[in-house]
């Protein structure tokens, strides 16, 4: 007897690696993801745009500090952006629908991400190591489909623990990109100043702040999409086990 293959019971092809899948989503939805990044990082953009050119060496140092403060501030917006990116990792909407649903998810992620940042800050004040651990465990909070802030935090922790190496690498990549932005921008725009500095030598320090803000907006969507992809590959039932 020659059995006929049962195509309905055939095994589904395996998912591509998380980074490959996230890269495809990022390329497909680059425009809505960048717009959502600008919205999520709007406090960073607004602060950068208000920055004036320094008039003395003290003002240049203040601009340098501000640029690094913006990098720290951007981290909350990047967590929220993970929620916005999840709208494109769960389905394949049109570009316009991706922007609309992504914005809804972005807004929905604000409150749980505030709770996550608060928990991380408390853990960091206690000891550095708990703070770093919580950064990883709560990185998926914005993409959680659970209802209620406690459930979203618990969901992120459960999924991150089951996929710890991948989440650690994705979180470390996001932090490394942020640090690289600051270091490169500082090297390009914030050259050591003579005493007294000329106005032409002070002006680039304002450009440093602007460059940091722009680079954060452009660079944040890809790592956020990687984190969102990790979460949306896990069903709610699996996450809750």
The 3-class SS string of 42-61 reads HHHHHHHHCCCCCCCHHHHH
Mean residue pLDDT across the chain: 89
Identify how many contiguous H helices and E strands the chain contains and give both numbers. 11, 0
- The predicted pLDDT at position 238 comes to 47
- The predicted pLDDT at position 127 comes to 64
Q: What is the pLDDT of residues 142-191, one digit of tens each?
A: 999 999 999 999 999 999 999 999 999 999 999 999 999 999 999 999 88
Q: What is the pLDDT of residues 125-142, one digit of tens each?
A: 766 667 788 999 999 999
- The predicted pLDDT at position 125 comes to 75
Q: Which residue has the higher pLDDT, 24 or 17?
A: 24
Tell me 3's DSSP state: P
- The predicted pLDDT at position 233 comes to 84
Asked whether residue 74 carries a pLDDT value surpassing 90, the answer given is: yes
Q: Tokens at residue 41, please?
A: 């990082």
From residue 202, how far is each of 54, 81, 154, 192, 197 by CA, in Å?
Answer: 6, 34, 48, 10, 7
Asked whether residue 37 carries a pLDDT value surpassing 70, the answer given is: yes
pLDDT band, residue 115 (cuts 50/70/90): very high
Tell me what the mean pLDDT of segment 103-125 comes to. Answer: 91
For the whole model, what pTM was predicted?
Answer: 0.86
- The predicted pLDDT at position 131 comes to 76
Measured torsion, CA atoms of residues 160, 166, 169, 171, in degrees rounded to the nearest 10: -30
From residue 174, how far is each of 56, 90, 95, 96, 220 by CA, in Å?
Answer: 34, 21, 25, 26, 7
- The predicted pLDDT at position 91 comes to 85
CA pair distance 190, 16, nearest whole angstrom = 42
For residue 55, how many C-alpha atoms fall within 13 Å in the half-sphere facing its CB? Answer: 1
Asked whether residue 26 carries a pLDDT value surpassing 80, the answer given is: yes
CA pair distance 57, 194, nearest whole angstrom = 9
Tell me what the mean pLDDT of segment 34-59 comes to. Answer: 95
CA pair distance 7, 5, nearest whole angstrom = 6
């Amino acid at each position: 007897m020659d059995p006929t293959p049962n195509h309905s019971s055939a095994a589904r092809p395996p998912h591509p690696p998380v980074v490959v899948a996230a890269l495809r989503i990022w390329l497909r939805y680059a425009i809505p993801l960048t717009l959502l990044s600008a919205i999520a990082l709007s406090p960073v953009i607004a602060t950068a745009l208000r920055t004036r050119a320094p008039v003395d060496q003290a003002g240049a140092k203040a601009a340098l500090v501000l640029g690094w403060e913006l990098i720290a501030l951007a981290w909350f917006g990047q967590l929220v952006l993970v929620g916005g990116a999840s709208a494109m990792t769960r389905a394949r909407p049109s570009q316009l629908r991706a922007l609309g649903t992504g914005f809804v998810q972005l807004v929905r992620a604000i409150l749980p991400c505030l709770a996550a940042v608060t928990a991380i800050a408390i853990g960091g004040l206690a000891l550095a190591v708990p703070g770093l651990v919580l950064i990883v465990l709560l990185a998926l909070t914005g993409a959680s489909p659970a209802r209620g802030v406690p459930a979203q935090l618990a969901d992120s922790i459960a999924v991150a623990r089951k996929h710890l190496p991948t989440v650690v690498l994705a979180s470390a990549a996001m932090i490394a990109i942020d640090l690289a932005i600051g270091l490169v921008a500082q090297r390009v725009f914030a050259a050591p100043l003579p005493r007294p500095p000329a106005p032409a030598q002070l002006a680039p320090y304002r450009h440093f702040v602007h460059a940091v803000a722009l680079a954060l907006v452009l660079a944040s969507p890809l790592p956020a999409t990687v984190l969102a992809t990790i979460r949306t590959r896990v069903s709610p039932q699996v996450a809750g086990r």
